[in-house]
Copies of this chain bind each other. A is one copy, B any other.
Amino acid sequence: MVQVAVMGYGVVGSGVVEVMSEHRDSINKRTKEEMGIKYILDIRDFPDSPFQDKFTKNFEDILNDDEVKVVAEVMGGVHPAYEFTKQCLEKGKSVVTSNKELVATKGAELLKIAKQNNANYLFEASVGGGIPIIRPLSQCLAANEVIEIAGILNGTTNFILTKMIREKMSFADALAMAQQLGYAERNPAADVEGHDAGRKISILASLAYGKHVYPEYVHTQGITEITLEDVAYAASWGGVIKLIGQVKRLEDQTLDITVEPMFVEKNSQLANVDDVFNGIMVRGDSTGDVVFYGKGAGKLPTASAVVADIMDCAKHLKRRKYLEWADGDGSIVKPYAETTYPVYIRVACEDKQAAFQKAQELFANVSALVRANAGGNELAFVTDEMTVARQEKAVQALEEAGYQVLSKIRISDL
C-alpha cells in the first residue's frame, strides 16, 4: 500500500483526488501497488465532500506519518509550499507538484534536497498542464543537444490573442471574455504580463541546459500593449502575434531566453496553436523539430499529469529518478540588450514619407508594412536583425525627432 497526501484542495487538488478515485483500478494495476489517499490538507472546510475523513488542517499529520510516501503539493505559491515540500523531502517522502512558481524559484534547491534524501521531486504538471513535456525533454530527447525551445506556454494570453486576431476584439474586451469564461483570474497580471510563461520557460531552460535559470534573468514582457493595429500589421507581414517563451543557445554558449509577444510566420507550427491551447517546440540537433500540443491548463489535464507523477514515484520508492540541474547565477544568460533580432515598429507621424526616410536613416534597412484603413498619420516598418541596444538607441532618436513610437514587437525566426 502506497499512501498519498494531497496538499491543497483547489482546482488541481480536487482533480487529483477525482482522477485517483475514478481510475483507482487501472492505477493500481499499472503501478502494481495499492494506492490510497490518506490525507487532504486544506485550511478550508468541505462539509459536502465525500472525502470528509481525509481532510486535515495540520501539515504535521502528513509530515509525521511514515505511511505517507508520496505527497502532491498542489497549493500554488511559494510559501508555505516551499517549506512543506522541503520538510517532506527531508523526511524521504517524494513530492510531485504542478506549482510552476515554486519549481522556477526553488527547483535547484529542492532537487538537491530530494537527491540527498533518496526521494524524488517531479513536476510534469508545472509546464503544459496535461501535455507531456518535462519527461520527454529529460528522457526521450536525452541523446540530443537542445538547440532551442519555443512555446506558447500560457493558455489565457493565447485565448486573448486569438480573439483579437480572429474576431478583432480589443485586448480589454478579450480579457473580460476570458475572465467571464474562467480562463483568466480576477487579477490577470501573472498571465497577461507574461510571468506565468516566464516561470515555465525558466523550468524548461533549467532542464535542457542543466543550470537553474531563475525567472528574474528572463526578459519578460506581456501582451497588455498589443493593439488591433499591430494585429493587422502582423497579418500584412504574413503572420500572427503570439506570446512566445523562448530559449536558445547562442554560439558563445550563452542563452537568449525571453518571454515576449512576437510576430510568428503563418506557416510556423506555433502560428496555428489557438485558443487556450499550448504548443511547445523543441529543436534537437538529432531529432530536428518536435512539437507537443494540447490543453495547457484545466482541472483534469493538470491533475492527470500530477497523478502520473504520483504513480511514477510509487514505482520508484527509494530509487532516484533522472531529474536534476545545478544552481545558476544568471551568468549563462545573454543580457537582453545584446540579443539580436529584427523588429517591427509603429510610429505616429504627420508625414509618412518623411517618417520612412528617418526610419531608414536610423535603422539602415527597413520595409514598410501596410494595413487597411491606416490613414496617413502612422508608419509601420520592419527592420533587419540588430541588437536590442541598437534598436533602443534608434527608437530614442526617432522620438527625439518627434515621432512617437506606438509599438515595438520582436520578429521571431520560428
List the interface of chain A (C-beta within 8 A of B): 19-20, 23, 26-27, 30, 124, 129-132, 135-136, 139-145, 269, 272, 284-295, 298, 300-301, 303-305, 307-308, 311-312, 315, 319, 322
A–B Cβ pairs within 8 angstroms, 30 of them: A30-B142, A30-B322, A130-B284, A130-B286, A130-B290, A132-B132, A135-B135, A135-B140, A136-B136, A139-B308, A139-B312, A140-B308, A142-B307, A143-B304, A143-B305, A143-B308, A269-B293, A272-B272, A286-B303, A286-B304, A287-B295, A287-B300, A287-B305, A288-B301, A289-B294, A290-B292, A292-B292, A292-B293, A293-B293, A315-B322
Are B307 and A130 within 8 A (Cβ)?
no
Known: A26-B145, A143-B305, A292-B292. 16 other contacts (CB 8 A): A124-B140, A130-B284, A130-B286, A130-B290, A135-B139, A139-B308, A140-B308, A141-B304, A142-B307, A143-B304, A143-B307, A143-B311, A269-B293, A286-B304, A289-B295, A291-B291
* A132 to B133 CA separation, bound complex (whole angstroms): 9
Are B143 and A19 within 8 A (Cβ)?
yes
Are A286 and B301 within 8 A (Cβ)?
yes
Q: Give the Cβ gap from A324 to chain B, nearest Cβ, in Å.
A: 9
Q: Which residues on the B side are within 8 Å of A289 (C-beta)? A: 294-295
User: Closest 8 A-B residue pairs measured CB to CB?
Assistant: A132-B140, A130-B287, A286-B304, A143-B307, A132-B136, A290-B294, A291-B293, A286-B300
Q: Give the Cβ gap from A118 to chain B, nearest Cβ, in Å.
A: 15
Are A142 and B308 within 8 A (Cβ)?
yes
* A20 to B142 CA separation, bound complex (whole angstroms): 11
Q: Which residues on the B side are within 8 Å of A312 (C-beta)? A: 139, 142
* A322 to B287 CA separation, bound complex (whole angstroms): 24
Are B286 and A19 within 8 A (Cβ)?
yes
Q: Give the Cβ gap from A231 to chain B, nearest Cβ, in Å.
A: 20
